[in-house]
Every structure is written in C-alpha cells, then in structure tokens.
Structure 1
C-alpha cells in the first residue's frame, strides 16, 4: 500500500485521513495529544446555506464582503457550493447538530452573515462534538496510525520533491519517515501572541517548514483578532463565541453604553476586524468592555462551555455581563494551494488554516473555518487518492531512527518564548505601523533569523526548534505586513489607514525562499 503522512490531527486532517485510509497507509502526527488543537476549541459552528430561504450565492456575497473582496472568488464559490452537500453527507454518516423542537436543524446567526446558516452541535461545543465523532470513526479505520507526542520538525526534500518528514519524540529521539504524499494540517500561528483563542501549541510550525522547503506563501499579513476573549483579573479564560452576539448579546462599557452604536450598520455583528479595533481603542482609553448577556434566555444550557468557563474563572453570571478583550484568532494567509490542496512543492499538500486557499480574503467570515476544513480537506484527499491510483506502488521504507550526534549546526541561543510573544503582540496586533514593525524586524534579524532556515536541526531540543519556528514565522509575517502599505480587513495600519481601492482585491503579496538559497536534502 502507498504511504501518506498527515501532519496535524484537527478536523481537516481527520476528514482527509478517513478518505485516504481506504486504500493507503496513513500516518497522522501530532506534537501533543490528539485531543489538543484548535478544532476541539471551536465554539462557533459551521456555516452552510442549507435553508430554503438561503443560497450559496448569498453565502458567497457575505464571504466576499467580509473578506474585503481580497478573496479568490472561484475558491469561495467552491466552498459555499460544495459545503451544504458535504455537511449533509456527514449528517447521513451519523454526525448530529442541534435541532429545534420540531426536528428541524437550528440555524444560528453570526457577524456579517445575512442569513441564519450556522449549524451548532452541543450549543457552543461544536468543535468538541465533531472532533469526538471523527475520532470515533478512526476506530473503524485500521490503516490510520496516530502518533501522539511526536513532533514533525522538518520535511524530507529530495531534488525539490517532498518525500516525507523528520520527527522528534518527547525522549529526544529523531526518526525519518518516507511517504508518497505529505499533507500539512498544522493550523495557524495564534501562539505567537500573548492573548489568543488558539491552543498554545499553534505557533506557525507548518508555515516555517513549508518556507524552508521552498513553498510559496501569501497573505501572511492578514491575521484576524477575535473581539471577545473572556478576561478576568488579568487572566484570559477562553473564547466567548460570536454566537452570543448573534443571539442578542451586546458589547457595552462600564457605564452600560453600547460601544458599537453608530460605528457600523451591523453594530455588534459587524465584521470581526471592525469590532476588534473598537474594543482595542476603548480598552486603551481605560475602559473595561463587557458582553451584556442579560437578554439571552437559558444562557446556561444554550452556551454550556462559556457558562462553565465563567463560573470556573470566578465571573458571576448573575450580573449579566462578561468582561472581554481581543486576541489573535485566525490566519487568513498561509501556504498557497490550488483547489485540491497542492502546494508549489511536488509531493506536498496543505489543508486547514495553514493553507492559503483564498476563500477568506482579508478577513474570515465567522464559521467558515470548519467549512473550509471540511470542503478542502475532503477535496484534497479525493485528489490525492486519484493521483496515487496512477502511481506505481514503491517498496515501503521502514522508519529510520537517526543518530543525531554531530548532525547540524550548534544549537542557537534564542529569546524566551514569552519575549517573542510580547514583541510580536506589540508590533503585529490589531493596529500596526511601520515604526513598530521595523523595530520588530531589526530585533528578529539580531538573532540571524535567516540563518535559522537551516534544515539541520535534528540535534536541537524541542524548545529551540519551536522558538526558531516562531521567529521565522514572525519574520515572514512582518515582511508581508510592511509590504502592504494600505489597510484592508484584518491588516490595519495607522500610517496607511485607508484601503487603496475598497472594491478591488488588492495586490497579492507572495513570499518564497529564493532558489539559490533553497536547501538540499539532509545528508546523513
């Protein structure tokens, strides 16, 4: 059987693995537990135009508008057209979503949507419910092997072709795994920031590895900040889903004033970048911002995860308001792919948040992330399967445990993780300017970040490898953000506050390692 490696264990990874396992051996690597990661944290639902009063064309319009028309319209069309069919297929397979008393699917409303089209499972536990369901399906797939606590530290590149991965276990041992196809599903980069909705492990590993391999990257400057992280006594407790505002919650200040009144026609349901900037500015002025949930009936049962989070964090729900702040949430850019997950590196595919499919543009529409994971995770797996059927079955290669003594350059001395997060947060937050970004760039260059591209890092510790990935990813984002001299969607520059053309998609900013510096395959 042919060998497929998937790096990551979130929703896109598992839907792809289930399809590919029918005729291939599939190895899934996750650097933590398979119950870690962002997909498990998804409180919001999955957007799909399944109601008779809705349509894919309306969903497309909402997605393009939220994305400031920076989206790839053809990719968006694929997303919204195939989405309902693929969601319904999973319902037929046994995945359940919340229903109304009459048995119809209960559809929620979220920011920048023109229709109720959000499917939830378990109220605000959609991610947990769907990931639990997917993991239950793995028990029936003998060809899927999940490797927990084994980090993929680099890609095996031979003559420009990706032929597998190098991994490092918790005990420090390193192994080389060969594969016909490698799929990156490593998520975004929220862990680069001090306040984030992401799992702390999501630090841009896939971005850094793909860049070192020579893959084309784009739109890295577009990082969405979620407006409503729950923060109490200087501690971020977690995310308060946008579904709260969809069901009537309002953003207020300490005096009860509605902060979105008069700012945007959609008020609290304005696009996330707009709401996040208002909260940031009001907070910087010394105001505490709250979600007023007093109008939401049966809050405890409708939003059980948020309720538990508040109670466990010492917030009194009886007061009817939840203290909130902003935090890094989603990377719209990433590794450039086609409609079937193909990157510019042969043998390498990318799905989920790490991929830049073009569907999100400059600002992701709420609840389109799980839809992207489903649609393009499945499309990519189906494409890989078709291609592998045409490929001669090579002789399987057993994993090769490496003797790492003396391999690679000496381990570099890098800044602490907390300092990286602090500096990135200051320069690449919801509002940016040339001065702060150039100061960050200089600091990054002081650590010879370009030299960290070396693939010979087998003898480094886990922590050094991760910090090097953080520095490389921060460097790439900073270079992209400096290049875009305008404000568009989630990329807002105080020194260039206007969009060059509000109705044009704007230039694409690509980054790729220069061919003359492209690394050779590791010599062992």
Structure 2
C-alpha cells in the first residue's frame, strides 16, 4: 500500500499532526485503538501556556530554562513556548473544552517550578483523556485520515539514505506501507522500568525505529522520575499529580516531619529535586506521604476526582489520610534528535512528542510542558511535511532490514526492566552503569524478543556513562556536582554500540 504520509502513534502529537495535514491523505498507525494506551491520555495535570493576564511566554521560558538545568536549547524553547497560546486555540478548534472559572476565564493551576498559574486543565484531573477524546472524535470524522488500529510499526524502510516506507505487523502478519514522509509520535519509555506511571507497552518504539534507520539520538540519559507515584504494588504506578502539591499539599515522612521545608521551592521545587529528596527518605528506611488534609480536605474530591478514585481503590481517603508516595519513571527528556521543524537527521523522517528530543526540556522537564510540546511540534511537523515535495508515485519497494533479521515475536521488556530499575534509576553510578551495559548488550545481540527494548535501554545506559556529572534528571552518586559547561550529547546507533562493546570486555574482567 502507498500513502503520501504515515504517522506512527495516536497520542496528542500524532493526532494533531494528522488533523493539521488534512486534506492531505494520511495513514495513522496505532498499536491499539485510536488514542488508547497512550501516555497523553493518562496526563492528569494539564497543558502549560502563558494565557493568564499576569503571564507571558518569556516568563514561561525563564521557568523552563531554570528547570532544564542549563541544558535547554533556548532557541527551540522560545519557538515552542511562544506558540503555546496558539496551541490552546488549536485544541479548542478541534473540540477541546478547558475548565473555566465562574467569570469565564480559564481555571489555571500552579505546578512545580512555575512562577505563575498557567496550567490549563480539562475535566479536572482528566486533562489528557479529555484532550485525546476530542481529537480522536475529529480524526474519526476526517475523511483524509486512514486509521490502522492494532497495528505495530516494526521497522522503517530506508533506501539510499532516505525513508521509503514502513514495515508493519497486524495479528502476526507483516506488510509494507510505501511513503517518503514518516512522522514518529510514539511516546515514551515507561515499559523499560518496573515502576512507571506510563503504559507498560511503551518501551521507546519510535527511538528504536529511528536508531535502526540511522537517525541520531540526543539526551537519552535524561529520564524524569515523578516524585509522587502512589506507593502501592501496581503496574503501571498510579500517579498523584503535581497539581495536588500546587494546591498546597505537603510531603511528610512517617514521623510527621515535613522534610522539604528547608528546600528552595519546597514541595514545588523542580521534579528531580523532589524525587531525590523522597528517594533519600525512603533509602533511610522512612515512608513518605503527601498530605492534602489541611489545604483541601473534602474539597479534594471535586478538584481531583480521578485521583480520589485511585486512592479509594487503594483503601485511602485523601481528604482524611495522607497518601503514601514514591518516585516512579514518568517522562523521557531524550529521544530522536530533531530540528525546529521536527525533522530528524534522516531525510523524510520527522518526530514529535515525547519520542523526540527538541531541546525544550533540557535535563529536566518543567511540569505540563510535555502536552504543550506535543501540540506545537505535531503542528510544526505537519506544516513542514505539507511543504515538502509532492509524494513519490506508487512504486514497488524491496523490503530489507539493514544488517539484522526482524524478530517474528512481539517485543517484550521483562528481562530489561530489572536492569534499568536497579542501575538506571533515580541515582546512578559508574559501577551500576558498567553492570547494565554488558547485560543490555547481550540482550540486543541475542536478537530475541527483547532486542528492540534492549536497544533503547542500551542507549540510555551509554549516554549515562558519558555524562560524568549530576544534572537535572541524571544524578550520579560518584559525580554529585555539575560540570561548568552544559553540553548536549548526540550520537547514532553505531557509536552507541561501539562504546558498549569497548566497555564490555573491561566490565567482564572486573
């Protein structure tokens, strides 16, 4: 089958891109139903945009740069954040209804490291689900969009250095889609960790596809751990949104001590700071709780209906008892290296949303900037794709997998999660990283069901090995200080494998 444009992924970035490309024909591939099993749909807090009377994109940029710990690309961040108010209008044109106050103004929430209330939400703490549902309704009623559900993209087809199509699988059957324009919008890496707030099937598929196709990756070491996952034995980990802390909830240990009181910003310090503080308390043998009793009381139920349901399912009444919390993998700042138009280093390949590394987030994502980035970069990718040359005429394509056979089994992460959770979590060290790399390389080289997830995990480990400092979401016990200069790392799969293989004999001899 031939199509002018292929979009892989039906989160917010993919849905926005498909709608913005209309009436250009688009094939949208999604591994479940439209919008299902996506991180976008699970977002509780909302979307950040400088739409308040006391706010400006410049203030949002300053907050973003501070949270990014010196590693943001200021030009890219400026380009995205100045488009944030227009992104809100775009979503409203597609049927999203944001919550408003009694006077009709947006009901804006405060989240960590923001200097203003600028987080818009929809249906309380069901923002992601509400936005995705509205976009899916539009997609289903748009004739130019062909939706291929329950379909997995297994490889990108590359001819003479440029994208030629996609090798996909549905119900165990493989087929090809020919196209010289492909957008990856596949979400994050939650499936690589035992404790994650994201869909367990997300292991960085877009990053894997791009890397195998020859695309450059960036910032792979920067994994954000949400400070307040609900501390229950569940996978995925239920999320207690940062917006709860924005309403005044405080963190206490099981001795009743508010251990963040002496930290700049307190409970609303950047996520990496709060996550490490909670991790330290737990490492000392303490339990940690989020206490919203004084600030919200029974008002918790109306402000956070979804979180109320989550807590009650775990036997907790958040209006009358503190909520047990612990850090959990939440977001990946790294991914496919892209420019300001969402183009990767491979001709004909674009990336948007969490699978892309735009430079907006730097070393640590500012709360609720992720949905902003997804909408803006999805629209930017659509505009750039539409402006590209006319689609090549239908033609036969010889499908080859460069250098590796295609596993016939569905990718699995069961062997990868223990390695990543133990060695590439909140706090890292050379000792742990050097144990992880050979183990991950062995899974990659075995070319079995876990080879694709192992590729993504190996990239994170190699990038982490190269960053001998603590910065943002990347914390090294053996290098607790920041280096004077902040440098973004970029490399392709060959360089990642070279580093891993050069290190592996040393690790084995040790």
Structure 1 length-normalised TM: 0.89
Distance 1:121 1:397, change over 3 A: farther
Structure 1 residue 182 corresponds to structure 2 residue 165: no
Partner Cα separation in structure 2 for residue 300 and residue 157 of structure 1: 52
Which residue is 2:380 aligned to? 379
Partner Cα separation in structure 2 for residue 192 and residue 235 of structure 1: 12
How many pairs are equivalent?
A: 492
Per-residue deviation, residues 196-221 of structure 1 (Å, max 9, x unmatched)? 01111110111111111110111000
Structure 1 residue 43 corresponds to structure 2 residue 44: yes
Partner Cα separation in structure 2 for residue 394 and residue 445 of structure 1: 38
Offset of residue 341 of structure 1: 0.8
Query: Alignment partner of 2:63: what SS?
Result: helix
Distance 1:428 1:141, change over 3 A: same
User: Retained in 2: the 8 A contact 1:229–1:236?
Assistant: no
Offset of residue 444 of structure 1: 2.0
Partner Cα separation in structure 2 for residue 131 and residue 473 of structure 1: 26
Offset of residue 92 of structure 1: 4.4
User: Retained in 1: the 8 A contact 2:300–2:318?
Assistant: no
Offset of residue 416 of structure 1: 6.9
Offset of residue 49 of structure 1: 0.5
Which residue is 1:461 aligned to? none
Query: Alignment partner of 1:51: what SS?
Result: coil
Offset of residue 191 of structure 1: 1.1
Partner Cα separation in structure 1 for residue 319 and residue 140 of structure 2: 43
Q: Following superposition, which runs of at least 4 residues in structure 1 exceed 4 angstroms of deviation?
A: 233-237, 397-400, 407-416
Runs of at least 5 residues in structure 1 that lack an aligned partner in the other structure: 453-463, 519-524
User: Retained in 2: the 8 A contact 1:207–1:334?
Assistant: yes
Which residue is 1:162 aligned to? 163
Offset of residue 234 of structure 1: 6.9
Runs of at least 5 residues in structure 2 that lack an aligned partner in the other structure: 499-510
User: Retained in 1: the 8 A contact 2:87–2:372?
Assistant: no
Partner Cα separation in structure 1 for residue 313 and residue 78 of structure 2: 42
Which residue is 1:335 aligned to? 336
CA RMSD of aligned residues (A): 2.5
Which residue is 2:503 aligned to? none
Which residue is 1:486 aligned to? 469
Query: Alignment partner of 1:162: what SS?
Result: strand
Per-residue deviation, residues 156-204 of structure 1 (Å, max 9, x unmatched)? 111111111001112x110011013001111121210000011111101
Which residue is 2:501 aligned to? none
Which residue is 1:421 aligned to? 417
Offset of residue 514 of structure 1: 3.9
Counterparts of 1:87-486 in structure 2 under 5 Å?
87-170=88-171, 172-232=172-232, 237-262=237-262, 264-294=263-293, 295-297=295-297, 298-388=299-389, 391=390, 393-396=391-394, 409=405, 417-447=413-443, 449=444, 452=447, 464-465=448-449, 467-486=450-469
Partner Cα separation in structure 1 for residue 22 and residue 282 of structure 2: 49
User: Retained in 1: the 8 A contact 2:296–2:319?
Assistant: no
Structure 2 length-normalised TM: 0.92
Structure 1 residue 511 corresponds to structure 2 residue 495: no
Partner Cα separation in structure 1 for residue 470 and residue 30 of structure 2: 36
Bigger mean CA deviation after superposition, 59-68 or 33-42: 33-42
Partner Cα separation in structure 1 for residue 3 and residue 177 of structure 2: 13
User: Retained in 2: the 8 A contact 1:289–1:325?
Assistant: yes
